[in-house]
Amino acid sequence: MHNIMPAIYGLNSLEKSMISIIPEAVIILFAFIVLFLTFFEKIAKGKNSYYLSLIGIAFSILYVVMLSGKNLTGFYGSVVFNGYDVFLFIAILLSGFLTVLVSKDYIENFDVPYPEYYSIILFGISAMMFLVSSNNLIMVFISLEFMSICAYILTGYIRGNTRSTEAALKYLILGTFASAFLIFGSVFIYAAVGHLNLNSIHTYLENISYVKHGSASILNGMGEYLTIGLLLFTVGLAFKMSLFPFHAWTPDAYDGAPTPITSFMATGIKVAAFAIFLRIYLLIYNFNVINFNDILWILAVLSMTFGNIAAILSSNIKRLLAYSSIAQAGYILVGIIGGGFYGYSGTLFYLFAYIFMTAGAFAVVIIFENSDIVSLDVKKYSGVGYKYPFISAAMAFFMLSLAGIPVTGGFMGKFYVFSAAVKSGYYWLVFIALLNSAFAAYYYIKIIVKMYMPDKEDSSVSCIAAEGKNYGIVNGNISEGIMLAIIICLFFTLIMGVYPQLFINFANYSAASLCKI
Amino acid sequence: MAFFMKYILTILIFFPAVAVLILLPINKKNEGLLRNLATLLSLVEFIASYYLFIYFKPDTYKFQFIEKFNWIPSFGASYFLGIDGVSLFLILLTTLLTFVSLLSSYRYIKDHVKEFVILMLLLETFMIGTFAALDVLLFYVFWEFMLIPMYFIIGMWGTGKRIYSAVKFFLYTLAGSLIMLFGIIYIFIIHYEQTGNFTFNLMRLYNTHIPVGLQILLFIALFLGFAIKVPIFPFHTWLPDAHTEAPTAGSVILAGVLLKFGIYGFFRFAIPLLPNAALILAPYIVVIGVIGILYGAFVSIVQKDLKRLVAFSSVSHMGFIMVGLFALTAVSINGAVYQLLNHGIDTGALFLFVGMIYERMHTRQIKDLGGIAKKAPILTVLFLTSVLASVGLPGLNGFIGEFLILIGSFRSYPVLTIIATSGIIFAAVYLLWMFQRVMFQDPHDQTAPYDHHLEFFDDMNLREIITVLPLIILMFLMGFYPSPFLDRIGPSVLHFLTMLNHHKILYNAIKIKTGLSNA
């Protein structure tokens, strides 16, 4: 017990702490480098920021791989790095990588500074990574805010575009509201248990429930506080996970934001929010203060049902994908409700598959998008199948994956989470989810119908639309960045569907280090 | 050769997929090459599949040509293939009909030829995979993905309300499959709870003991998935639309192979996995089957559209097969499996002829047709043969299957069987009446454009004769000499019944045994 003080305040500790956040630090470093490019007008307009961001993300992935297998804690236990983070860091970094890839040809159509754009994306990625690895209620709040602020800026990044600005404003107001819920919830939790560190809260609750087998009443009358706190906390995170009824911002923000950012929000932010929810859920919610699974059950059913119904009614493809992402969030939640090692690993697997199918679909949307709002109508896609065979085949594949048809990662993910829920006895939930999947197939199929089976009358319209200037098609060629992103997404979606064992092993490894508290 | 025989099923499954890779780089303008190459490759596939028949050991019920590799150890899913007498012939039927339908589409499919042949070959891969899979997850993957190429074939090359039909077909079957998936997951988890192992190995899942009440619920879940595919009477509504609007090749595959998956699913999965529920529910399903026979027949009689008539006749015929299967006697199940093959051949041929008539007359309305017999004698004779085979004329294949089904079912359900028999009479009514109107009717009251088409009605050319010839030969062969087929189907069917016997609740065990000895 000697020299405790140096251990806490010494250089050693700081060094260790720094190691635990190296992947994030690398991203932040690159974010600043990219940001400084703005000072040099000549460089700023070039492609340097784009390439630098990609390199930064690649470096960060490298560091994650180098650190994998280590169990690190830093900054007095508020940041942890273990197998769970390895999995999610790679997921988030890949999502960021895909976002940057599809951004170049999109953002160059607008008169906005490029380096800032990329640097904010990088900051956003680092915020997500911090969020995933945070192990302290304050840390959760800070990184969530950091992430949200990046997202607000990026949503409204296209200056002078009313839709973009409106979306940003709506997102900001509702998001701030959600943050208020979150911090309020943290306060209540702190009031009930007297700890901020998640592990300490866990230990505290465990001791109490070990001493006395009861529930809310045992916490010296503070059980109600804990319940209220956890409920408010759930609300705060449900905003970010865009679960019904906290989804209201999703369609507008997704629709108005620049499409690469929509993709980023739909993949990165959602994954990060789910990841931290899963961690907190496992550490705190699992003590039956009240039965949270029942609440989540309702949220999951409402999310998927509402998401699917709204998606069927929408004709704007970005809104359609936004609603579909609400429904997907419902499916992912099924895995968390199912619970257990099997369920958590299934949730992680699904999250991973979800990133690629969603990012791929948005990449295709970018190709055919232009300044005309009609370019986002599903009608625009009629007859595209014959003009761009590869892109359309890829889009069809992503749609089938989202619909959960076999040979795609989406099917394996769905199978995984649903069987976990059946294993825990949630038969009705799975039954409803499967009916929802059948129902949802309609609007995914609708896009494929448009692409490959055009009606006689609107094929003429679409051909004109497809000839016009599109963000992703430069001089008749599809931009390489987007092409690469689509190929990456296609590759992962296919591999996860045909030979998922590799990814299951990875998810298992990750879930194991999550469950080993 | 040893390598070929060892991995013959894998090779058969993935050869068409490899063929797709060969076709992909070919320029889509080069339609002739694409068509010929695809047809040639499917012929190679058919010839290769014939090796299965040659090397198949007929005297055992055990699965043959087994291949087993780990696929997803975490779920206990494996790449587990094997065939018995039932799947053997269904695979042969698949390869034959794929070849036939590719050959038949030379005139009908005029645009997007490349996409068409690629989808057909892709479909073949998944169809063979479904018949060969002995791992439930693998089966499900093949089964479900099969929808996609078929959906494209209907939607891209169909006629009339093609998109509506394609989407309806897709959503209907998808909904059924997803409910089936629920049942599969449930059985998988129950097996896990009993043994502590995750497995999708069908042989192990057969040994799962499920309480009877739960079995009935799960059986209903699986039933919905398979019944929609068959399709059995209230779930058949997608079928007439899909069949009518699909291109000829699509209809042939749909009727010839895809409908077989429902019955195959019952035979391989639903009944052996949930034997007690199957025994309890069998009488009701037989009743539904009989309703389907009569309903299909009645609706066929009043059809005005030639293709729709053939489509509804499928509902009636599939009703027979369901009755045969769920009568659960050795004779009737043999008959049902035999009739599966017959239906694939007969209805496939009927769709081919309907397609040929449509290509020449540009109409399918029976009232606009007529007088074809004078113009095209070869077509008339061959069409008549298929019609008679479908009606069940002795000497042609349809007779054997229906006869076995009726004889076998009579022991279990005498009254219902007598009612079902009337279906054969109605089949004669609607098919022969249709034939008379289409081929012989005096075309005096016809509108001018179709008269014009009739004037230039040419008889079948060599390609078309080659297309239907294998089917016609099989009709006679299977009608006169069924034993090579029944010998191979028999042991598998017997084993199927023995497995049912193991479950002590089998209240009519004795009936089955006597039914067998009488045969």
Which stretch of A344-348, B248-252, B386-390, B460-464 has the lowest confidence by average pLDDT?
B460-464
Give residue A298's pLDDT.
92
Instruction: Please check whether residue A418 touches B, CB under 8 A.
Output: yes
In this prediction, residue A209 carries a pLDDT of 67
The pLDDT assigned to B509 comes to 46
CA B189 to chain centroid, in Å, comes to 31
In this prediction, residues A459-487 reach a mean pLDDT of 70
Task: Cite the beta strand spans of B354-491 per DSSP E.
Answer: none
**A405 closest CB neighbour out of B112, B148, B185:** B148
Quote the tokens at residue A302. Answer: 């409402």
Nearest to A139, CA basis, from A12, A20, A266: A20
Contact B112 A386 (CB under 8 A): yes
Q: Does residue B461 register a pLDDT over 90?
A: no
Residues 369-388 of A with CB under 8 A from B: 386
Region A388-403 average pLDDT: 90
> What pLDDT sits at residue B44?
92
Question: Taking CB atoms and an 8 Å limit, are A423 and B166 in contact across chains?
Answer: no
Binned at pLDDT 50, 70 and 90, residue B197 comes out as confident
Q: Is the dihedral of CA B42, B44, B49, B50 positive or negative?
A: positive
* pLDDT at B505 exceeding the cut of 60: no
B171 vs A contacts (CB less than 8 Å): 438, 441-442, 445
Predicted local distance difference test score (pLDDT) of residue B452 = 64
Sorting pLDDT into bands at 50, 70 and 90, what band is A182? very high
User: Are B175 and A438 inside 8 Å of each other by CB?
Assistant: yes
Mean pLDDT of A264-291: 84
- B109 pLDDT tier (thresholds 50, 70, 90): confident
Please list the alpha-helical segments (H only) found in B302-371.
Answer: 306-326, 330-361
Q: Which residues contact A506 (CB under 8 A, 6 or more apart)?
A: A87
pLDDT in the model for residue B448: 54
Lookup: tokens for A385:
């199948």
**Confidence tier at B506 by pLDDT (50, 70, 90):** very low
Average pLDDT rounded to a whole number, residues A182-204: 87
Confidence bin at A216 (pLDDT 50/70/90): very low
For the CA atoms of A287, A292, A293, A294, what is the dihedral angle to 10 degrees? 140
What digits encode the pLDDT tens for the residues A85-111?
899 999 999 999 999 999 888 888 888
Q: Choosing among A407, A408, A418, A449, which should be mutated to test the B contact, i.e. which has the most B CBs within 10 A? A: A449
A372 — pLDDT class (breaks 50, 70, 90): confident
Chain A residues within 8 A of B151 when measuring between CB atoms: 445
B165 to chain A: closest CA residue = A449
Contacts of A449 in chain B (CB under 8 A): 155, 163, 166-167
Other C-beta atoms lying within 10 Å of the C-beta of residue A178? 20
Domain ranges of chain B: 274-512
| Percentage above 70 pLDDT, chain A | 90
| Residue ranges of domains in chain A | 291-517
Distance of CA A109 to the CA centre of its chain: 26
Three-state DSSP class for residue A300: helix
Residue B107: band (very low, low, confident or very high) from pLDDT cuts 50, 70, 90: confident
Whether chain B has a CB inside 8 Å of the CB on A434: the answer is yes
Provide the pLDDT for residue B507. 44
Can you read off the two tokens belonging to residue A430? Answer: 């799975």
Residue range B157-161: mean pLDDT, rounded: 84
Neighbouring C-beta atoms of residue B328, cutoff 10 Å: 25
- pLDDT over 70 at A215, yes or no: no
CA distance A172 to A179: 10
Confidence check: pLDDT of B212 > 50: yes
**Which one of A400, A423, A499 has the shortest CB-CB distance to B189?**
A423
Number of H helices, E strands in chain B: 25, 2
Give the pLDDT band (50/70/90) at residue B360. confident
SS3 A370: coil
Residue A390 to chain B, least CA–CA distance (Å): 11
Searching chain B, which residue's CA lies closest to the CA of residue A455? B163
| Cα-trace Rg, chain B | 22
Give the model's confidence band at B519: pLDDT under 50 very low, under 70 low, under 90 confident, else very high: very low
CB contact under 8 A, B71 and A499: yes
Q: For residue A6, what pLDDT band results from cuts at 50, 70 and 90?
A: very low
- pLDDT, mean of residues B271-275: 88
Task: Retrieve residue B114's tokens.
Answer: 């490349």
Q: Are B181 and A415 in contact (CB < 8 Å)?
A: yes
Q: Which of A310, A413, A276, A309 is nearest to A354 (CA)?
A: A413
Nearest residue in chain A measured CA to CA from B139: A406
| Residue A393 distance to chain B (closest CA, Å) | 11
pLDDT in tens, B284-303: 999 999 999 999 999 998 88
CB contact under 8 A, B162 and A453: yes
- What is the DSSP annotation of A167-179? HHHHHHHHHHHHH
Q: How far is B176 from chain A (nearest CA, A)?
A: 9
Please tell me the distance from the alpha carbon of residue A449 to that of residue A460, in angstroms, as a whole number: 16
Work out the average pLDDT over B456-466.
83
Q: Inter-chain contact A405–B145, Cβ cutoff 8 Å? A: yes
The one-letter code for the residue type at B89 is: F
Q: What is the mean pLDDT of the segment spanning A447-471? A: 66
The mean pLDDT value for B246-262 works out to 89
**pLDDT score of B241:** 87
Interval B174-201 mean pLDDT: 90
* Inter-chain residue contact A407 with B145, CB threshold 8 Å: yes
Residues of A with CB below 8 A from B156's CB? 452-453
Where does the pLDDT of residue A310 fall: very low under 50, low under 70, confident under 90, or very high at 90 and above? very high
Q: Which amino acid is at B85?
A: G
The C-alpha of A270 sits at a distance from chain B's nearest C-alpha, in angstroms, of: 26
* Single-letter residue type at B425: I
């998001």: which residue's tokens?
Answer: A175
DSSP per position, B438-470? IIIS-GGG--HHHHHHHHT-----HHHHHHHHH
Return residues 287-326 of A near B (CB < 8 Å). none
Provide the sign of the torsion angle of the four alpha carbons B315, B320, B322, B323, taken in this order: positive
Average pLDDT score over chain A: 85
pLDDT, position A464: 43
To the nearest 10°, the Cα dihedral for A38, A42, A47, A50? -10
Please give the span between the terminal C-alpha atoms of chain A, in angstroms, as a whole number. Answer: 24
Residue in A411, A415, A501 nearest the CB of B73: A501
Which of A405, A408, A451 best tests the B interface by mutation, with the highest count of B CBs <10 A?
A: A405
Q: Is the pLDDT of residue A422 over 80?
A: yes
Q: Provide, as residue numbers in chain A, all residues whose Cβ is less than 8 Å from the Cβ of B186.
A: 422, 427
Give the per-residue pLDDT at B284: 92
Q: Give me chain B's average pLDDT, please.
A: 86
Question: Cβ–Cβ of A411/B189 closer than 8 Å?
Answer: no
β-bridge partners, B365: B305
- Would you call A430 and B185 a contact, using CB atoms and an 8 Å cutoff? yes
Which tokens is B412 given? 């279990």
For B155, nearest residue in chain A (alpha carbons): A453
Lowest mean pLDDT among B293-297, B463-467, B501-505: B501-505
- The span from the CA of A393 to the CA of A415, in Å, is 24
**Confidence at B514, pLDDT banded by 50, 70, 90:** very low
- Per-residue pLDDT of B302-334, as tens digits, reads 888 888 898 899 889 999 999 999 988 889 999
Task: Using an 8 Å CB-CB cutoff, list chain A residues near B170.
Answer: 441, 445
Mean pLDDT on B454-478: 85
Rounded (10°) CA dihedral A271, A359, A155, A163: -130
Alpha-carbon distance B27 to nearest alpha carbon in chain A (angstroms): 13
On whether any CB of chain B is under 8 Å from the CB of A32, the answer is: no
Q: Give the Cα separation of B120 and B149 in Å (integer).
A: 7
Which distant-in-sequence residues (6+ apart) come within 8 Å of B116 by Cβ?
Answer: B105, B109, B153, B156, B157, B249
Chain centre to alpha carbon of residue A81: 19
Residue B89 to residues B257, B337, B339, B488, Cα–Cα distance (Å): 11, 9, 12, 9
Chain B CB within 8 Å of residue A390 CB: no
Residues of chain B contacting A, Cβ within 8 Å:
70-75, 112, 137, 140-142, 144-145, 147-148, 151-152, 155-156, 162-163, 166-167, 170-171, 174-175, 178-179, 181-182, 185-186, 188-189, 192
Give yes or no for A437 touching B (CB within 8 A): yes
Taking CB atoms and an 8 Å cutoff, what residues of chain A touch B182?
418, 422, 430-431, 434
Quote the tokens at residue B375: 């113009």
pLDDT at position B89 over 60: yes
